[in-house]
C-alpha cells in the first residue's frame, strides 16, 4: 500500500507548473477516473486543495487495490499541504479507510528522487487489525508508531510497539506488556532485497506452549530476501539472563519449508535456561523438577534431511532431580550424522537417594544414530556398578539397545546403614547378563544372579513390557537358594 501512495503522488508534480500558473491562490479540484500500474490500481480519484503553497487538502479514492488487497472509500486529510515540482508535503494528516478509525499520518515526497518519507502516529494496534485480517486473528492490543523512508532501491523502516499484546484463538501463543522497537534497512539488488534488522525487546511476557518467558531479548540480523528464498546470513540473539545465540538459516516462503539452519551459542547459564526452556517439556510428561547449575555451549545444524550436527559442551554443572543428583559434570559431545566421533562425559560424584556415587569417566563412540560404550564403572559405597558392551541404534525411527553388567560386592552393613535400615551382615553382588530393548520390550537373556546372605536369587525369562510407558508390566521366574536368614534376622525379633 505504501508503494501505491508513492506511485499515486508521482503524477502530481508534473501538473504543478500548469495548475499553479492557472489557479494562483484559488482552491483547486482535480478528478481522475483511474490510475493503473503494475503495483496498484486506483479508481474514482479526487483531490481538493485550498492552495498549492499551503492550507489543507483532501484526497479521496473510491477503490484502491495494492499488494493483493482492496480498500474502498479511502480518504486522506492533510491539515497542511504544500505542493511544488520538487516536494510534496502532507503535515498533520489523517488517513480514513472506510469503517476504520482515523490513522494519524504525515508524508513528504520528493518527485525528482522518487523518495517517500511516511510516518504513522501513535495509534491503537487494533485499528491496523481492521485493515489487515491476518492481524485480527491474533486479537492484538497496545499502541504502535511507525516511520518509513523509501525510494526505488532503498527502504528504512522503524516500528515501535508499546504495551502490546496478542493471542491466538487456540490459546497456545500469547503475549502481553510487550515493548518492542524494530529497525530495518533494505537495499534492492535485481529481484532481491539485501536487508539488515535490529530488534530490541526490553520487556514483556510471552507464552509459546509450553514455554513461558518474561524478560528482554535483543536481535541483530542481516540477510537477503527473494520471492523464492529468505536467507538470514548472520544473526545474533541475546536473551537476558541466559546468554547469546549466533546463527543463520534459509527458508522457502512459498512452501514454508526450512531448508537449512545453523546455531552456535556462547556460554549459557543453565540455572536459567533449563527452567524456562527444558522443564516445561518435562512437566508435560509429569516428570520431576530439575535443579541445574553451571554453564553450557550448544551447536546445531539442520538441513533437508534433519539434524546434521549437534554439539553439547557442559562445564562444571550440577543437576538434581528428586533425591538423585550429579555434580562436577563435564561433557564434550560432538555428534555428526555422517561422521564417526567420540564423546567425553565425566562427573565428579553424586547420589541416588542416600547412596553415594563416585566419580565416573565415560567415552562414548558415535556414528550418526549408532552409539556404543565398551565399559562404564560407577563406584558405589565399597563396591562398583559395572556396565559393559552398551550398544544403541535407531532403525526406521525406532530405538534398539543392549548391555551387560555386574554389581561388584558391596558390604551389607554399609548398604543398610546408608539406606537407614537395621544392620544386615554379608555382602551383595550381582551378575547381569545381556539385556536388550526393542519393540518397546526390555528382555533379559540368561539369568540375573543376585548373591546375598550366603545364597543367591536367580531371575530368568525376565521381560518388562512398555518400560518407559505409564503402566509397565513385568514377567519373570525367580528362584531363591541357600539364603542364611540369620544374617537378615539377627538384629530383629520376629
pLDDT of residue 153: 85
| Mean pLDDT of the region 30-58 | 76
pLDDT of residue 17: 45
Q: What are 62's three cell numbers? A: 473510491
pLDDT-derived band at 1, boundaries 50, 70, 90: very low
Whether 136 has a pLDDT exceeding 90, the answer reads: no
Choice among 28-32, 38-42, 248-252, 306-310 with the minimum mean pLDDT? 38-42
Whether 14 has a pLDDT exceeding 80, the answer reads: no
Most trustworthy range by pLDDT among 107-111, 167-171, 343-347, 425-429? 343-347
**Which residues is 465 bridged to in the sheet?**
441, 473
Q: pLDDT tens digits for 163-177?
A: 999 998 888 999 999
Which phi and psi (to 5°) does residue 424 adopt? -125, 150
Distance between CA atoms of residues 10 and 17, nearest Å:
14
DSSP secondary structure letter of residue 288:
P
Residue found by looking up cell 480514513 in the block: 96
Whether 189 has a pLDDT exceeding 50, the answer reads: yes
| Mean pLDDT of the region 475-492 | 66
Whether 492 has a pLDDT exceeding 70, the answer reads: no
Distance between CA atoms of residues 431 and 386, nearest Å:
10
> What is the maximum alpha-carbon separation in the chain?
122
Distance between CA atoms of residues 169 and 186, nearest Å:
33
pLDDT of residue 37: 53
Q: What are 44's three cell numbers? A: 474514482
Whether 447 has a pLDDT exceeding 80, the answer reads: no
> Is this prediction's pTM over 0.85?
no
pLDDT of residue 109: 84
**Residue from 94, 103, 105 nearest 129 by CA:** 103
Q: Alpha helix (H) ranges present in 353-452?
A: 412-418
**SS3 at position 117:** strand
Beta strands in 112-256 (DSSP E): 115-124, 141-150, 154-167, 173-189, 192-208, 211-214, 217-226, 229-239, 243-252
Planar angle of CA 261, 265, 270, nearest 5 degrees: 125
Whether 335 has a pLDDT exceeding 90, the answer reads: yes
CB count in 10 Å sphere of residue 112 = 9
Residue found by looking up cell 492490543 in the block: 141
DSSP string, 433-466: EEEEEETTEEEE-SEEEEEETTEEEEEEEEEEES
Q: pLDDT tens digits for 272-318?
A: 999 999 999 988 887 889 999 999 999 999 998 899 999 999 999 99
Q: Do 460 and 445 contact (CB within 8 A), yes or no?
A: no
Q: pLDDT tens digits for 239-251?
A: 999 999 999 999 9
Per-residue buried b or exposed e for 406-435, using 16+ beta carbons within 10 Å of the residue's own CB: bbbebbbebbbebeeeeebbbbbbbbbeeb
pLDDT of residue 98: 75
Q: pLDDT tens digits for 65-75?
A: 766 678 888 88
**Residue from 86, 63, 100, 69 nearest 9 by CA:** 86
pLDDT-derived band at 423, boundaries 50, 70, 90: confident
Q: What are 101's three cell numbers? A: 478509525
Q: Do 350 and 326 contact (CB within 8 A), yes or no?
A: yes
Distance between CA atoms of residues 240 and 242, nearest Å:
6
Whether 452 has a pLDDT exceeding 70, the answer reads: no
Mean pLDDT of the chain: 84
Amino acid at each position: 500500500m505504501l508503494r501505491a501512495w508513492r506511485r499515486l503522488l508521482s503524477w502530481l508534480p508534473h501538473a504543478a507548473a500548469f495548475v499553479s500558473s492557472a489557479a494562483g491562490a484559488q482552491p483547486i479540484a482535480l478528478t481522475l477516473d483511474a490510475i493503473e500500474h503494475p503495483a496498484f490500481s486506483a479508481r474514482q480519484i479526487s483531490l481538493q486543495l485550498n492552495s498549492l503553497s499551503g492550507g489543507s487538502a483532501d484526497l479521496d479514492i473510491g477503490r484502491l487495490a495494492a499488494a493483493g488487497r482492496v480498500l474502498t472509500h479511502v480518504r486522506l486529510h492533510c491539515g497542511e499541504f504544500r505542493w511544488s515540482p520538487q516536494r510534496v508535503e502532507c503535515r498533520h494528516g489523517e488517513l480514513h479507510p472506510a469503517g476504520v478509525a482515523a490513522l494519524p499520518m504525515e508524508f513528504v515526497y520528493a518527485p525528482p528522487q522518487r523518495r517517500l518519507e511516511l510516518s504513522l502516529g501513535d495509534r491503537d494496534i487494533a485499528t491496523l487489525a481492521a485493515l489487515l485480517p491476518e492481524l485480527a486473528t491474533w486479537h492484538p492490543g497496545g499502541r504502535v508508531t511507525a516511520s518509513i523512508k523509501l525510494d526505488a532501491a532503498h527502504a528504512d523502516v522503524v516500528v515501535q510497539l508499546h504495551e502490546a499484546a496478542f493471542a491466538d484463538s487456540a490459546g497456545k501463543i500469547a503475549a502481553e506488556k510487550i515493548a518492542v522497537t524494530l529497525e530495518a534497512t533494505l537495499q534492492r539488488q535485481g529481484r532481491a532485497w539485501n536487508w539488515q534488522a535490529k530488534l530490541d525487546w526490553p520487556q514483556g511476557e510471552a507464552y509459546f506452549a509450553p514455554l513461558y518467558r518474561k524478560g528482554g531479548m535483543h536481535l541483530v540480523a542481516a540477510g537477503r530476501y527473494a520471492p523464492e528464498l529468505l536467507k538470514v546470513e548472520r544473526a545474533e540473539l541475546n536473551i537476558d539472563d541466559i546468554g547469546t545465540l549466533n546463527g543463520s538459516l534459509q527458508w522457502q516462503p512459498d512452501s514454508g519449508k526450512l531448508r537449512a539452519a545453523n546455531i552456535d551459542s556462547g556460554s549459557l547459564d543453565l540455572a536459567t535456561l533449563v527452567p524456562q526452556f527444558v522443564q516445561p517439556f518435562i512437566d508435560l510428561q509429569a516428570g520431576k523438577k530439575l535443579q541445574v547449575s553451571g554453564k553450557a555451549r550448544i551447536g546445531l545444524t539442520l538441513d533437508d534431511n534433519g539434524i546434521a550436527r549437534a554439539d553439547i559442551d557442559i562445564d562444571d554443572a550440577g543437576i538434581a532431580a528428586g533425591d538423585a543428583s550429579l555434580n562436577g559434570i563435564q561433557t564434550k559431545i560432538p555428534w555428526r550424522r555422517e561422521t564417526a566421533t567420540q564423546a567425553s562425559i565425566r562427573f565428579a560424584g553424586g547420589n541416588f537417594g542416600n547412596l553415594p556415587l563416585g566419580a565416573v569417566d565415560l567415552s562414548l563412540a558415535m556414528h550418526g544414530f549408532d552409539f556404543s560404550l565398551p565399559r562404564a564403572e560407577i563406584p558405589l559405597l565399597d563396591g562398583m556398578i559395572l556396565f559393559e558392551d552398551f550398544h544403541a541404534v535407531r532403525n526406521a525411527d525406532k530405538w534398539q539397545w543392549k548391555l551387560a553388567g555386574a554389581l561388584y560386592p558391596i558390604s551389607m552393613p554399609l548398604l543398610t546403614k546408608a539406606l537407614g535400615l537395621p544392620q544386615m551382615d554379608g555382602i551383595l553382588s550381582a551378575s547381569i547378563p545381556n539385556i536388550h530393548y526393542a519393540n518397546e520390550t526390555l528382555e533379559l537373556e540368561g539369568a540375573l544372579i543376585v548373591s546375598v546372605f550366603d545364597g543367591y536369587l536367580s531371575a530368568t525369562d525376565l521381560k518388562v513390557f512398555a518400560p518407559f510407558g505409564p503402566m509397565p508390566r513385568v514377567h519373570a521366574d525367580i528362584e531363591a537358594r541357600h539364603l542364611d536368614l540369620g544374617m537378615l534376622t539377627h538384629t530383629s525379633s520376629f
